[in-house]
Structure 1
Amino acid sequence: MLIAVASKSGTQVDQHFGHAERFLIYDCAAGQPRLVAEKPVEKYCSFDPDHPFREDKFSAIVTALEGCRAVISAQIGELPKQELEKRGIAAITAVGPIDQALLAAHGTLCGCGFNCGKKSC
Structure 2
Amino acid sequence: MLIAVASRDGKEINQHFGHAERFLIYEVEGDEVKLVDEKKVERYCSYDVDHPLRGHLLEAIAAVLAGCRAVVCAQIGQAPQMEMERLGIDVYAADGPVKPALVEIAKVL
Residues in 2 aligned to 1:107 and 1:47: alpha-carbon distance in whole angstroms: 36
Corresponding residue of 1:41: 41
**Structure 1 residue 97, shift from structure 2 partner:** 0.3
What runs of 5+ residues in structure 1 fail to find an aligned partner?
Answer: 110-121
Give the fraction of aligned pairs with identical amino acids, expressed as a percent: 52
**Structure 1 residue 44, shift from structure 2 partner:** 0.3
Question: CA-atom RMSD, angstroms?
Answer: 1.6
Residues in 2 aligned to 1:80 and 1:37: alpha-carbon distance in whole angstroms: 23
AA aligned opposite 1:42: E
Q: How does 1:67-86 map to 2 (within 5 A)?
A: 67-86=67-86
Contact 2:76/2:93, CA 8 A, preserved across alignment: yes
The structure with the larger Rg is: 1
CA deviation map 1:54-105 (0-9, x unaligned) = 0221111111101011000000000111111111211000001000110121
What runs of 5+ residues in structure 2 fail to find an aligned partner?
Answer: none
Structure 1 stretches of at least 4 aligned residues deviating more than 6 Å after TM superposition? none
1:68 partner SS? coil
Q: How does 1:1-121 map to 2 (within 5 A)?
A: 1-29=1-29, 31-46=31-46, 52-109=52-109
Residues in 1 aligned to 2:24 and 2:80: alpha-carbon distance in whole angstroms: 18
Residues in 2 aligned to 1:83 and 1:21: alpha-carbon distance in whole angstroms: 18
Alignment: residue pair count = 107
Residues in 2 aligned to 1:13 and 1:107: alpha-carbon distance in whole angstroms: 18
2:58 partner SS? helix
Structure 1 or 2: larger strand share? 2
